[in-house]
Amino acid sequence: MKNLKQIHSQFIKFGLHNTQFAVSKLVEFCAISPYGDLSYALSIFNSIQNPNHVIYNTMIRGYCLSSSPNLAIHYYINMLFFGLQPNSYTFPFLLKSCGKLLKPHTGKQIHCHVFKFGLENDVYVHTSLINMYAQHGSLDDARMVFDKSSFRDAVSFTALITGYVSNGHVDDARELFDDIPIRDVVSWNAMISGYAQIGRFEEALSLFQEMRNEKVTPDVSTLLSVLSACAHLGEIRIGNWVRSWIEENGLDANLRLLNAMIDMYAKCGDLNIARSLFDGIQEKDIISWNVMIGGYTYTSNYKDALEIFHLMQLTDVKPNDITFLNIIPACANLGALDLGKWIHTYINKHYQDFPNELLWTSLINMYAKCGNIKASKQIFYCMETKTLASWNAMISGFAMHGDAKRAIELFSGMGKEGFKPDEITFVSVLSACCHGGLTDLGREYFNSMIRDYNITPQLQHYGCMIDLLGRAGLFDEAMGLIETMGMEPDGAIWGSILGACRVHKKLELGEYAAKKLFELEPDNPGAYVLLSNIYAGAGKWEDVARIRTFLNDKGMKKVPGSTSIEVDGLVHEFLVSDRSHPRSNEIYEMLDEVDGLLDRAGFVPDTSEVYYDVDEELKEGVLCQHSEKLAIAFGLISTKPGTTLRIVKNLRVCGNCHSATKLISKIFSREIIARDRSRFHHFKDGFCSCMDYW
């Protein structure tokens, strides 16, 4: 613009500012170029005594491309008022402006003018009419324009196909697509992207195969749609072919394609290739960082997701809402509360004028999973516009913290606010009843879900109810519910029955449930170990030995227990008897001190847990070295007295550690918030929020 203004001054100096051809070039640059200035174009336009139709067309086009497309119509009206006749260059951008404004009545008026000036058979005007009606959702009008035309080229076919696709009528689009005499790459792209956008990825890839068979050369748009479909389907074979084609045709420097390939490989599970492609990009944009962070989060590699995010913070690239939607779940799953708080502060600073309910809902979930339910409540009750997802997140938060009362109160409140619960809501409500041992209320909500809300129970709903009944020892009712489910129970359901049988010492039913679980998950050692625990509880040591021998012969090992704790923004992870930490000596010194204090307080470890607690490290003599106790010891030496400790365990906390942690909270005057695989435990002053029911 600086150079343009210098040229403009030269025009004035030499008297060319009264020459319409010269001035039209100035207006064109200012109005249309991405480096131009529409307000400067307007000032030039206002200085012209009698603008011709070329200059008017340029202004119409400029406003069509701007954030004020309504002004394009204003200039068209002025053009007519001053007796200038529109031409084939006027209507395409005028109709595009109408499409943006979503004013069907204005669009139809412009359509009448197209007939009035005899331009209905102009190829560009014809295509623009179809696009305009399609944008308004007036597909019948769009089809009428198409059918009444005296000609039909690939462009008009593609315009109508795109209209059908964007309005969700993909089958109509496919029918029209099959009628195209000569299909170019644009029409193929319209169909492939259409299938991909509505989640019909198999059909998108099938159509791509047809395109290859017809020897049509794909372009960047084609490849982006195909890579997206491959990512969603985990179809790495076709993804590899696309990558080879990209490299052979010299498109491997295209950043959009590189980002799409990173996303595809990450979601297909090949994180090594995804990372190598990512590391090879010299100038990474925000999308590059987002797809790599998202890929790690998608595949549950949360620590790697945090690592990439920290690397991003060292660059000039600023995070956006997509970045946070990818990284917040990683914080939630690792219990990385400090980083979550930093993200919350950043969002408060940069997104107050652009509210994103998804971000706030994600933060509610993150704080709940990191053990800070107070912060979750604060965000929820401060949200100006709540969504069903935000209500669900808050109810789920109360449920996982064992606060069934508040979860149920909130469930009642959402109905009063006009929100209708969905399947996810009832999973959270039933889970709250399960954690609180509210059997009668759980039955009531389960029946209400079917009767009052016409929601068909899914496996998760049945799983909650069967777990609730099993914990209460109501095995006949639980088995009766399984028989009437109308679907095959999964491993989680049989696992909950098996776990309840261990608690209530139901040997025969436990054997039956274990048999069912073996059929569904023959390679899952947890089922065998759980049955072994039931045998151990019944004193059937020969059966215990038989199962243990079987596990050893098969080389099946239980998932090791691990516990993480965040200190000063860094997440530290511990395994049973772990000595890999740099401060290992200090940790074990503190552990000895803790055990001594527990001993003086009268704590006696229950060594029988070693034999039959499925969810704990099953090695006699290492009860004091369980991963959660190592994490707590590290927290005690790494934080100031009185600091709340938050730990996250991948398995169910064992009875020994639960009892020990209650005493530790009293001895050291610390609140300890522990998240295991199913719920939270708030330890304080020698008590736990779960009231020893978990």
Cα 25 to the chain's mean position, in Å? 47
User: Tokens 């149920």 appear where?
Assistant: 408
pLDDT of residue 618: 41
**Residue 570: strand pairing partners:** 567
pLDDT at 614: 39
Given a contact cutoff of 8 angstroms between Cβ atoms, the answer to whether 209 and 216 are in contact is: no
Which positions of the chain have pLDDT values less than 70? Answer: 150-152, 352-355, 606-624, 694
Question: What is the CA angle 459-464-466, rounded to 5?
Answer: 90
Residue 674: beta bridge partners? 647, 681
Check residue 609 and give its pLDDT. 44
Three-class secondary structure of residue 401 per DSSP: coil
> Is 686:658 a contact under the CB 8 Å cutoff?
no
**pTM assigned to the model:** 0.75
* Percent of all residues in the chain with a pLDDT value above 70, rounded to a whole number: 96
- Cα separation, 110 vs 114, in Å, equals 6
Q: Which residue is listed with tokens 């776990």?
A: 499
Look up residue 660 and give its two tokens.
């020990």
Task: Please tell me the predicted confidence (pLDDT) of residue 407.
Answer: 95
Q: Which pLDDT score, from 0 to 100, does residue 248 have?
A: 93
Q: Please, are residues 667 and 616 in contact by the beta-carbon 8 Å criterion?
A: no
Q: DSSP secondary structure string, 144-182? A: HHHHH-S---HHHHHHHHHHHHHTT-HHHHHHHHTT-SS
Rounded distance, CA 454 to CA 654, Å? Answer: 39
Q: Is 455:439 a contact under the CB 8 Å cutoff?
A: no
